[in-house]
Chains A and B, each alone.
Chain A
């Protein structure tokens, strides 16, 4: 591991004041500490924000919304009964991610900042434009089974690995931040960036800007009876998604009055297509409708290598998550959250 300075500021403003180019904020450490060990990240200064006061609360807002502090642990959020009842697919996504040990350490803010699992990014000996601008992309033409099929370009074909971010995208979460220039809100759709010309910039955060909280509106909770997160992975637990989908519906008189669909594992950000959602409005829930919506959602997909199979799978996970959402949120968290298999298959 490289050598670095370590400090633990007492307040958010102290933390931001301490930031300088090359510094990194440390929350739960589950991602940063690992990347520092491999050498993929080498911050000169680590600012430990894990104990900043006031950022570890789940609050109900006067307007009926919910505000989650950036330092709320994944396990705490998934296990909060009121939160899980209002946002079951967020709880399911959290519970399906990583392991109990990691969920006890990982924070909400850290999850939003999670770096890609692209092995070329992880390996300091491979070319990677994300690690270092202008370095090239080792993944293009390499092993690309897990890479993007949407929103990629020749500069970068990496995907965002987060489970949590997929339902947050579907539910139009808002990210509250504070930086050297003060506080601001960032719409979730704008938070993660596609590679474009600056693949090294993965989020909309400005240098030194710190996530304070994530807000969800009361409307985001309105689909609580019909929402699911579904995830396809190569082993039953403790694995990143090959593809995943978060689906939330509001139904009235047998018709869909609101549809939300976000797809994970396919791009550098959770993928949402307004046209796919619009297509379902006013329609009765139906597998054929869901199939068509999923097809529209994946319309622009192209393989970035030998990963064309993901397009089919993403379409199917999307359609299936919509069908499961229409069938109703399970009354309790499934034994294997977000699994594509029935519970009896594993126990």
Chain B
């Protein structure tokens, strides 16, 4: 048999309709469904059975379509979400329940979750929590923290009785883009390329550090299965990308030397079927492996080779904040605690791997891919391609999770270069291994901390030194280095403080942006040291924090004084009832158990919203057409967090009409002004403010047309705009106004940029216009004999200023806690060793305990309607709260994350536990 041509005609039923596919032998059912039968509702997250996103029902049983050769489906019944969502009674109930409970955030795992849940509900119409956890245990979700998915499935039988909330600002409205997610219609990076697009494959280094030369590229490119080869010589602009001015250092294609395993050296472009069969080992490249620096101590050792010749000592950059005299304060303190902490690489592990497609249209380049930052993607491509920005259009897809990594470009430069070179549509989707090897990670940290207090519990001084493994290229390393010293005090009043950070190069993948930008790492050191300090002082950890909590009018360690809006005290106080109850319950539990103990841990956190002391504008545009259509150009990328909903709620309030009256145009660099990147907890705050300003400005124009006062009411009804002012109704005839090129008769484009000021050499200044505040309480159980920790419950208090949408707030909090839990207990990316989702573990549905979210609303003067950013402080207190719970139960300090059984046992042993 000619293997290359070997195909089998396979027939089965797909959603009750007979289908036949001519598929290659061994082709996965998932691929046949997606590429040959158009079933894009079957999502592929890992292609290895580890994530469950591709779950389909085969003869009624949920299986991973990615592990089933299509030939094994012959004669069977295959059901997918798109089919089920049309008529299956359980799926219809789940659709309603998933939306009501906000069980879908980014939506990439939703098909797998819902299909698995349909199978469960067919067998058990009213399942309990444990049954749901068992049935959905094979589907990973990185956004929701699972509890809302559990609620949705447990509550599905009662879906008919669910009441939909209103959509106005402050209401727990269902997300406005939710229906497509629960029907499998949302289109992600790999779902949008046209049939016949060429496929781009990347040739990557298998070594963390190597020199390389190419063989005969000419004859390789002449192979019949190869349409084009791309290398550094094809890069017409700058062969470098990056995100921070002065640190644009990562080549699109390495030249001569690679600095991390997974670094790209070339691309091969070919027809889809040919690329499926293509073996990267055939590519003519000769590697000469070199010694690699994989850890910070290796990189800092005297005489260590330099990763970048122009960065002495392998130190890329640093950050520094100091106030008062920290050393003198510590010398004079009654009690001092110090400690050395280590954390690991953490992988973002969104379920959607990087994917997209590109084509050249009338001389302009179109790139459609999953991204957190359309504007930055365009800047980067303009630079790499040597093209005018105006000739580049970035049209994002739905984003199946980002958490920071999709701010950087990934597939975009390859797609752009391939489309330009071949002149044809091209597509690519990273494999899970590629995604994990080559995209950014959370920085591993090595932290020395010293903190002192007076006998009465008043904090007197704190010193902090953190070295962060920033990997081979800069990415967001400078941001981490800047942010950490500003935040390492926690939200407490400390007058003597010195914090220093360094970003250190190694031959690891680039570390970059990951929810919290280094603050989750520093919070582990600071918040757990606080508990030891409180213990030494004989103080209750919650009382200790309340005593030192930052108040309005007190300077932060940067000397910034907020006269309003400091919410940490409110967060801590909100935990008090749960805390007292948990202490009691743990005491009872511990009296009855010898080998297993429970403890209560508290940790606080804060997060400055937006860029650190840098401009950070968002622009939002809105307009009215002559026919009365009100259009909002909403360019803030929704990566699951909900800006497609929140920004619209804010705009509706500002303009003064119901959400239903608004037509929303999503992000597209050709039609939406730049709303900045989705990062740094900035969209609700910054883009929300731009939306508020745009709404208010457009409203003012309308009122002016009617000569009405500020308090007038605007109604839009069937194309008729009315303004009611003091009981007088004015009809505004929009058709008499002249329309602009976009068709708008009235238009507002407004920009908001938070007021900040530069930091001086001691880090004194105004880094952020606002902070969000948080405090978590964790009850955790620890098995003293086996070293396994399991969180039993969380209570999470978050000051969001104003909850624009409380349902989305809860979603952010629960999802953040799941990520913090993973970081604390199981997640450790080891380059070259844990490049898949079964060796790299993220929490499953069984790992996240019940979470009670307490929403505090200490309004912020700068926030839209008082709102503060939320996306990152959801995660910051989680890991230290877990560690503090273990300390409460055992008096053992955990100082190395993740606290795996091996590490926990070692710590217990050292503390004298047998």
A contact set with B: CB distance below 8 Å: 1-6, 8, 26, 28-30, 33-34, 36-38, 46, 48, 50, 75, 95, 98-102, 104-105, 117, 119, 122-123, 125-126, 142-143, 145, 232, 234-240, 242, 307, 309-310, 312-313, 316-317, 320, 335-336, 340-343, 345-347
Asked whether A345 and B781 contact (CB < 8 A) given A102-B64, A313-B787, the answer is yes
Across-interface contacts of B68 in A (CB, < 8 A):
29, 33, 105
Q: Is B578 engaged at the interface, CB distance under 8 Å to the other chain?
A: no
Question: 10 other contacts beyond A4-B26, A6-B25, A347-B133, with CB at 8 A cut-off?
Answer: A33-B26, A33-B69, A38-B433, A100-B134, A101-B52, A105-B64, A119-B833, A242-B901, A313-B905, A345-B849
Q: Can you list 25 pairs linking A and B with CB atoms under 8 Å apart? A: A4-B26, A6-B26, A6-B71, A26-B69, A36-B26, A48-B69, A99-B52, A100-B116, A100-B136, A101-B49, A101-B62, A101-B116, A104-B61, A123-B832, A126-B832, A232-B901, A234-B901, A236-B847, A240-B838, A309-B901, A313-B787, A335-B134, A336-B133, A346-B790, A347-B130
Given known contacts A234-B901, A235-B841, A335 and B133 CB-to-CB distance under 8 angstroms: yes
Q: Which of B227-283 contact A (CB under 8 A)?
A: 276-277, 279
Residues of the A chain whose Cβ atoms lie less than 8 Å from the Cβ of B134: 95, 100, 237, 335-336
B107-140 vs A, CB cutoff 8 Å, 1 = contact: the mask equals 0000000001000000000001111011111110
With A29-B72, A313-B905 as contacts: A341 and B783 at CB distance below 8 Å: yes
CA distance A43 to B149 in the complex (A): 40
The complex places the Cα of A239 from the Cα of B140 at a distance, in Å, of 12
Note all chain A residues with C-beta closer than 8 A to B8.
6
- B826 on the A face (CB < 8 A): yes
Please determine whether B130 and A335 come into contact, CB atoms closer than 8 angstroms.
Answer: yes
Please determine whether B138 and A143 come into contact, CB atoms closer than 8 angstroms. no
B786 within 8 A of A: yes
User: What are the 4 A-B residue pairs with the smallest beta carbon separation, nearest first?
Assistant: A99-B138, A6-B25, A335-B130, A236-B846
CB pair A48–B790 under 8 Å, yes or no, is: no
Docked Cα-Cα span, A346 to B793, in Å, equals: 9
Per-residue CB contact flags for chain B residues 779-812 toward chain A (1 = under 8 Å, else 0) read 0010101111010100000000000000000000
The answer to whether residues A313 and B901 also contact, given A101-B55, A119-B834, A346-B846 and a CB cut-off of 8 A, is yes
Complex contact B49–A30 (CB within 8 A): yes
Judge whether A100 and B25 touch: CB under 8 Å.
no
Report if A234-B826 is in contact (Cβ < 8 Å); known contacts: A4-B25, A309-B905. Answer: yes
> With a CB–CB cut-off of 8 A, which chain B residues contact A8?
71
Most interface-central of A75, A236, A238, A336 (chain B CB within 10 A) = A238
Q: When A242-B901, A345-B792 are in contact, do A6 and B6 touch as well, CB less than 8 Å?
A: yes
Rounded to whole angstroms, the CA-CA distance of A6 and B902 in the bound complex is 44
Chain B 15-68 interface residues, beta-carbon cutoff 8 Å to A:
25-26, 28, 47-49, 52, 55, 58, 61-64, 66-68
Partner of B69, one of A6, A236, A313, A341: A6
User: How distant is B884 from chain A, measured CB to nearest CB, in Å?
Assistant: 18
CA distance A347 to B4 in the complex (A): 50
Q: Which residues of A contact B838 (CB under 8 A)?
A: 117, 240
Verify B3–A3 contact, CB threshold 8 A.
yes
Which of A50, A105, A145, A235 is the one whose CB lies under 8 Å from B826? A235
Q: A76 → chain B, closest Cβ, in Å?
A: 9
**Known contacts A1-B26, A313-B787; A100 and B135 CB within 8 A of each other:** yes
Contact between B839 and A46 (Cβ–Cβ < 8 Å)?
A: no
Residue of A nearest to B135 (CB): A100
Most buried by A among B68, B128, B131, B786: B786
> How far apart sit A342 and B790, CA to CA, in the bound complex (Å)?
11
Q: Once bound together, how far apart are the Cα atoms of A5 and B26, in whole Å?
A: 9
0 or 1 for each of B807-843: is its CB under 8 Å from A? (1 = yes) = 0000000000000000001100010111010110111
Given A309-B906, A335-B130, A346-B790: A100 touches B138 (CB 8 Å cut-off): yes
Please, how many angstroms separate the alpha-carbon atoms of A6 and B137 in the complex?
32
Q: Which residues of A have CB within 8 Å of B843?
A: 235
Judge whether A1 and B48 touch: CB under 8 Å. Answer: no
Closest-by-CB residue of A relative to B64 is A101
Q: B385-399: which residues lie under 8 A (CB-CB) from chain A?
A: none
Q: Would you call A145 and B69 a contact (CB within 8 A)?
A: no
Bound Cα distance A117, B433 (Å) = 16
- Bound-state Cα–Cα, A307 to B905, Å: 12
CA distance A235 to B1 in the complex (A): 45
Q: Which single member of A5, A33, A340 contacts B25 (CB below 8 Å)?
A: A5
CB atoms of B781 and A237 under 8 A apart: no
List B contacts of A33 (CB < 8 A): 26, 28, 66-69
CA distance A8 to B69 in the complex (A): 12
Distance in Å: Cβ of A31 to nearest Cβ of chain B? 9
Are A316 and B786 CB-contacts (below 8 A) given A48-B71, A238-B137? yes
Tell me how far the C-beta of A29 lies from the nearest C-beta in chain B, rounded to whole angstroms. 5
Query: Is A75 touching B61 in the complex (CB atoms < 8 A)?
Result: yes
From A102, which residue of chain B is reached at the shortest CB distance?
B49
Interface residues of B (CB under 8 A from A): 1, 3-4, 6, 8, 25-26, 28, 47-49, 52, 55, 58, 61-64, 66-69, 71-72, 116, 128-131, 133-139, 206, 276-277, 279, 433, 596, 781, 783, 785-788, 790, 792, 825-826, 830, 832-834, 836, 838-839, 841-847, 849, 900-902, 905-906
Q: How far is the CA of A247 from the CA of B308 in the complex (A)?
A: 56
Contacts of A36 in B (CB 8 A): 26
Smallest CB–CB gap between A199 and chain B, Å? 20
A50 / chain B contacts, CB cutoff of 8 Å: 72
A234 touches B841 (CB 8 A): yes
Complex: A119 Cα to B832 Cα, angstroms: 9
Residues of A within 8 A of B61 (CB): 75, 104
A237 pairs with B25, CB closer than 8 A: no
Q: Which of A101, A122, A239, A313 contacts B841 (CB 8 A)?
A: A239
Task: List A contacts of B826 (CB < 8 A).
Answer: 234-235
Distance A208 CA – B427 CA, assembled complex (angstroms): 41
Complex interface: chain A residues within 8 A of B847 (CB): 235-237
Q: In the complex, which of the residues B26, B28, B68, B842 has the most CB atoms of chain A within 10 Å of its own CB atom?
A: B26
Q: Which residues of A contact B276 (CB under 8 A)?
A: 1
Instruction: Give the residue among B62, B135, B826 with the most A Cβ atoms within 10 A.
Output: B62
When distances are taken between beta carbons in the complex, the residues of chain A under 8 Å from B841 are 234-235, 239
Partner pick for B900 among A101, A143, A234, A240, CB 8 A cutoff: A234
Q: Which of B26, B55, B130, B783 contacts A46 (CB 8 A)?
A: B26
Q: Across the interface, which residues of A come within 8 angstroms of B72, CB to CB?
A: 26, 29, 48, 50
Residue in contact with B63 in the complex, picked from A26, A101, A238, A345, CB distance below 8 Å: A101
Give Cα distance in the complex from A2 to B25, angstroms. Answer: 11
Q: Does the CB pair B1–A5 fall under 8 Å?
A: yes
Q: Across the interface, do A232 and B279 meet the contact criterion of CB distance under 8 Å?
A: no
Q: A101-B49, A117-B839, A347-B129 are in contact. Are A237 and B901 (CB under 8 A)?
A: no
Q: What is the CA–CA distance of A85 and B832 in the complex, to the nearest angstrom? A: 44
Min CB gap A269→B, angstroms: 21
A46 vs B27: C-alpha distance in the bound complex, in angstroms? Answer: 12
Asked if A104 meets B63 with Cβ closer than 8 Å, knowing A37-B47, A119-B834, A341-B783, the reply is: yes
- How many Å lie between the Cα of A313 and that of B433 in the bound state? 31
Closest to B793 in A: A345
CA distance A37 to B825 in the complex (A): 30
* CA of A95 to CA of B138, assembled, Å: 12
- With A119-B839, A237-B845 as given contacts, are A29 and B786 in contact (CB-CB < 8 Å)? no
User: Which of A98, A119, A342, A346 is packed against the most chain B CB atoms within 10 Å?
Assistant: A346
Residues of B within 8 A of A126 (CB): 832
A336 to B129, CA, bound (A): 11
Residues of B within 8 A of A336 (CB): 130, 133-134, 846
In Å, the complex CA distance between A98 and B8 comes to 30
Bound complex: CA of A145 vs CA of B72, how far in Å?
37
A residues in contact with B6, CB < 8 Å:
3, 5-6
Closest to A2 in B: B279
* The residue from B138, B206, B830 contacting A238, defined by CB atoms under 8 A apart: B138
What's the Cα separation between A234 and B839 when bound, in Å?
Answer: 11
The residue of chain B having its C-beta at the shortest distance from the C-beta of A126 within the complex is B832
